[in-house]
Amino acid sequence: MTFPISYLFFFLTLLSGTTLSVSSTSWFGAWLGLELNLLSFIPLITTKLCPYLTEAAIKYFLIQALASTILIMSASIFLYAQSISHVMILLSLLLKLGAAPFHFWFPQVTEGLSWPQAFILLTIQKLAPMFLISYLTFSDTLMSIIMFSALLSSLVGALGGLNMMKLRKLMAFSSINHMAWMLVGIYLGDIYWLIYFTFYSFVSGSVIMLLYSTHSFTVSNLLNQSSKSLLLNMFIPMNILSLGGLPPFLGFAPKWIMIQFLSANSMFIPLLVLLTSSLITLYFYLRLFIPLSLLSFSFFISNVKLTSLFSSSYTLLSMSFINIFGILFPIPFMI
């Protein structure tokens, strides 16, 4: 897919909206940045006149506009009813984020987008509401709402993805599950969710790049092109396992950090819920590539084409390399 030059402009305003809302000192400025973000994301996702893109754009627009209106309304009643105002700002930010009680729009919108747009929705669009939620951690009510939303979104992300055969919906539910870890990271402190967000962006970016380069949108797409390249057959399981958070890969590192700090703060029940739901997500990640690697692994097929081993792009190769050997990366942080 090639993008016209005007998308660069809209992408820059998207990033500047995020920056504006993160660095603003008032809720009005935060609302301004979120509106700028929304107004520039809609032209980015309506690239052509296709019913799927249109529907995703409409659902995204209506939800985000409602959340923005609730945010600016509750920021306006701040002088009158302070605690209600904070709670309603937090709820509208959770609606913008797609966290658990308000998650119903998120898989549908992700399903309608193409892979690069889905990557923007899964990572960059989460940045501003996450930062604004991390500013709202000064009272017990807000903290307990954040924790409730985190636990519920871990369960929803795990159980919702179980029956999914479409890869974009599956990535959306996996993103909801990872968002639970980030919300618990907000509960612990700012730096933890930032670390988790950085790692998650990288790992999900590498998975999305792999799926985009193979043009796969369902599990059967992934199976059909399996006998083409040996390298892809190795990379798809490894990247997906990294997203699932298995120990030799990069995706384990933020989970390791979170597990360590959660048990240091003796928050064992949230840790138990998060780990159990991550196990369920690991089940549906495994179901993605078990048929790929057992039934049609090209190493066992006689007509394997070794020439296509080097046909992948170098960016894909380097990202997968960091994904596989990336567990060595957080060692300076852990010491």
Binding stretches for another protein (CB under 8 A): 28, 31-32, 35, 38-39, 42, 46, 49-52, 54-59, 61-62, 65-66, 68-70, 72-73, 76-77, 79-80, 107-109, 111-112, 169
DSSP reduced 3-state for 218: strand
Q: How far is the CB of 121 from another protein (least distance, A)?
A: 13
Nearest Cα neighbor of 143 from 272, 265, 244, 19 is 265
Residue type, 156: V
DSSP reduced 3-state for 166: strand
Distance, in Å, from the CA atom of 62 to the CA atom of 328, rounded to the nearest integer, reads: 43
Of 26 and 313, CB closest to another protein = 26
Distance, in Å, from the CA atom of 147 to the CA atom of 242, rounded to the nearest integer, reads: 25
Of 29 and 237, CB closest to another protein = 29
Of 80 and 138, CB closest to another protein = 80
Q: How far is the CB of 184 from another protein (least distance, A)?
A: 26
Distance, in Å, from the CA atom of 262 to the CA atom of 132, rounded to the nearest integer, reads: 22
Of 34 and 150, CB closest to another protein = 34
Distance, in Å, from the CA atom of 163 to the CA atom of 65, rounded to the nearest integer, reads: 30
Tokens of 61: 């627009």
Of 35 and 320, CB closest to another protein = 35
Q: How far is the CB of 81 from another protein (least distance, A)?
A: 9
Residue type, 92: S
CA distances from 214 to 211, 311, 316 (A): 5, 12, 11
Nearest Cα neighbor of 274 from 294, 290, 254, 292 is 254
Q: How far is the CB of 120 from another protein (least distance, A)?
A: 17
Helices 82-97 and 125-134 pack at an angle, to 10 degrees, of 160
Of 29 and 330, CB closest to another protein = 29
Q: How far is the CB of 10 from another protein (least distance, A)?
A: 12
Q: How far is the CB of 282 from another protein (least distance, A)?
A: 21
